[in-house]
Amino acid sequence: MGSGGHSSGKRKSKTLSSTKEGEVLKRAPHTKPPFTLGELRKAIPPHCFKRSVARSFSYVFFDLIIASIFAYVAINYFWNLPHNLSFLAWPLYWFAQGAVMTGVWVIAHECGHHAFSDYQWLDDLVGFILHSFLLVPYFSWKHSHRRHHSNTGSVDRDEVFVPKRRSTIRWYTKYLNNPVGRTLTLSVTLFFGWPLYLAFNVSGRKYDRFACHYDPYGPIYSDRERFQIFLSDVGVLAALYGIYRLVLAQGLVWTLCVYGMPLAVVNALLVLITYLQHTHPSLPHYDSNEWEWFKGALSTIDRDYGWILNKVLHHITDTHVTHHLFSTMPHYHAMEATNAIKPILREYYQFDGTPIYKALWREAKECMYVEPDDDSDNKGVLWYNKL
pLDDT for position 377: 83
Q: Is residue 208 part of a domain?
A: yes
User: H helices within 251-355, ranges in order?
Assistant: 252-255, 261-278, 293-297, 307-312, 320-325, 334-345
Tell me, yes or no, whether 273 lies in a domain: yes
Q: What's the rounded mean pLDDT across residues 74-80?
A: 96
Residue 179 burial (C-beta neighbours within 10 Å; 0-12, 13-18, 19+) = exposed
Instruction: Give the domain extent around 115.
Output: 44-383
In a domain, 12, yes or no: no
Q: Which residues pair with 285 in a beta bridge?
A: 382
Q: How far apart are CA 11 and CA 13, in angstroms?
A: 5
302-303 and 285-286 strand pairing: unpaired
Lowest mean pLDDT among 13-17, 186-190, 273-277: 13-17
Residue 23 has pLDDT above 90, yes or no: no
In a domain, 230, yes or no: yes
The number of distinct structural domains making up the chain is 1
Q: Is the dihedral of CA 186, 188, 194, 196 positive or negative?
A: negative
Instruction: Judge whether 164 lies within some domain.
Output: yes
What one-letter code names the amino acid at 77?
A: Y
Task: Calculate the CA 80 to chain-centre distance.
Answer: 36
For 230-285, how does the pLDDT look when each residue is reduced to its tens digit (9 = 90+)? 999 999 999 999 999 999 999 999 999 999 999 999 999 999 999 999 999 999 99
On whether residue 248 sits in a domain, the answer given is yes
Q: Which amino acid is at 201?
A: N
- What local confidence, expressed as pLDDT, does residue 222 receive? 96
- pLDDT tens digits, one per residue of 83-110: 899 999 999 999 999 999 999 999 999 9
For residue 13, being part of any structural domain is answered with: no
Q: Please indicate, yes or no, if residue 379 is contained in any of the structural domains.
A: yes
For the chain, the average pLDDT equals 94
- What confidence tier does 21 reach under pLDDT thresholds 50, 70, 90? low
Which H helix or E strand runs over 382?
strand 381-385
**Ramachandran angles phi, psi of 204, nearest 5°:** -95, 180
